[in-house]
A and B are shown apart, each in its own frame.
Chain A
């Protein structure tokens, strides 16, 4: 296990380096002069020069690359072009919101997905099974931004059950939770359907195994078997897809944060994209990519922990 762990952790280093290089190279992909593009058509030459200087664009490439990497090593992601906040502080103030949103959605999706999946498998080929299958198919098919719009329209605007926009008052936990409900449902729906489907198929396979048949022939009740034996096996593929899921949810969080006007890293990045605030885009994407790589690493490691065969490949 230790060997596998070291191998996987070392394996992400080249990827991380390439991500950094790509983000550094981003500024060269911009058609035209980066500073004047960021400042827009009304910028004076003096403003462009000043921005060039503060971004270090007047220096040779290798010096800038050195500064860039040095800065990142020290947690310095640069400064926003517009607000003069540091990028790190902008991201740090937004990140907890996104993490809460993502984790809550993941938890909701896992809880209901696994329950529904096991339920469907136990009641194989009955109404419950068909219902779960159809519902999970529908849930998977609804893109999260469409789900967010519909939930907002139905539950916030029409029925007025939940607040429409924002992340809730800071410090007021109840208010924040009320603001979290609809975004979490919108974000978790697709993943919930996916997990339910996955768990149903795995559980059906497990329930077909000889050892389960033996336990059943001893007269153990189905609910006991499902909880005690089937569930443990059914969870493995869910764990394996958590890395994928975090990526999907982080991505979906961009839309959900935008539609519900919630503070979060997705909103920071999209706002920066529209404001052409390149340092913020670079920093935000770096953190998002880093989280994504980290989640995949954790998922891989936990998969290897549950399934020893992986370690010896």
Chain B
């Protein structure tokens, strides 16, 4: 069956040189179907963006490996905060509040929506100089 463009998942050996020109978005939020759903939306509506999905427990290693321009996760780590300019902590502790860092600017969303996430993806692209 031909599903939506499949987000990449757990492919640590892919060479960095294989990247396209758009911003790189790493997704490590859980549960899985939601991670994949948001990745599919971003891939479909922002085709220039390179989206990768990983399990949350390899978030730090994935950041080290791929130096993403943006991360969406359920729990922000120190590695994430120190190395990624744009990130979204999506529904931490399963609460409605989400937190974003956009190039050093702290944002809080009481009920974040898909257009908010797409807007942050666009900001990440601008900050990365890819758009």
Chains A and B are bound partners: no
